Amino acid sequence: MSTIDGLMSMRVGTIDGDDIMSPSHGSFNWGDGILTSKCERSNHCEDAHPQPGCTCGIYSVLDNGLQELKNYVYSPNHVVFVGWAFSTVNIYEWGLRSGQWVAVGVVNWHGFYDKPIGPDNKREPWWDSAYSALDILRKRHVDNPKLYTLESVSKAIQDQKHMYEERDMAINQLFGIAQL
Ligand SMILES: [Zn+2]
């Protein structure tokens, strides 16, 4: 059992009826909502534990990975989800490659040009997918799935980064004292 805390991040899913599929691996169904990585190299990485030298794992982005994310947002069926990366988590500048990932909500963002859901905007085709996505999460017993603004998700991810940096600093200081 891993004891690493979850990290908040975003990833794209394709809404297909009552299913959510991965946009890059079209046959990968999100199933019960908890995604678990499987390595395609035999005996290389355990399920849910992508190794540093490998490319397997569930990819998701942090607040500064929107350019990466938008490459997967090109159809009205694509929805940006916010969720938690856990098990083994490899951290990169733009995002994460984790052993597991679970969606908890939908981000009200569909690329830099499409309009977000709101009373002042004209309805866009992707809005229906976002509403379907929330229904699907409810059916999968996600506790109160919501539509989050990109700003609120980005802020939460930044706060989380600061918290980890502070924790690392505290650990380093303790380690430094132990060396005296
Ligand atoms: Zn692997």
Ligand 1 center to 99 CA (angstroms)? 10
Mean pLDDT of the chain: 91
**Confidence (pLDDT) at 138:** 94
Give 167 Cα–ligand 1 centroid separation in angstroms: 29
Alpha helical stretches, state H, 66-149: 66-70, 125-139
* Strand ranges (E), the chain: 7-16, 19-21, 34-36, 58-61, 78-91, 95-107, 146-148
pLDDT of residue 179 exceeding 90: no
Phi, psi of 127 (to 5 degrees): -60, -40
Q: What is the pLDDT of residues 159-177, one digit of tens each?
A: 998 888 888 888 788 776 5
pLDDT of res. 1:
33
More confident residue, 111 or 141: 111
The single-letter code of the amino acid at 28 is F
- Segment 146-156 shows an average pLDDT of 97
Å from CA of 48 to ligand 1 middle: 9
d(C-alpha 9, C-alpha 106), whole Å: 11
Domain boundaries, the chain: 7-179
Say if CB 51 and CB 44 are below 8 A apart. yes
pTM of the model: 0.90
58 Cα to the center of ligand 1, angstroms: 11
CA of 76 to the centre of ligand 1 (A): 31
pLDDT tens figures, 21-46: 999 887 889 998 899 999 999 888 99
Q: Is the pLDDT of residue 4 over 80?
A: no
Residues 66-112 have pLDDT tens digits of 999 999 999 999 999 999 999 999 999 999 999 999 999 999 999 99
pLDDT reading at 146 higher than 80:
yes
How far is the centre of ligand 1, averaged over its atoms, from the C-alpha of 7 (Å)?
20
Ligand 1 center to residue 60 CA distance, Å?
16
The rounded Å distance from CA 149 to ligand 1 centre is 33
Closest alpha carbon to 85 in 174, 7, 22: 7
Query: How many angstroms is it from 175 CA to the middle of ligand 1?
Result: 32
**Rounded Cα gap, residues 71 and 102, in angstroms:** 21
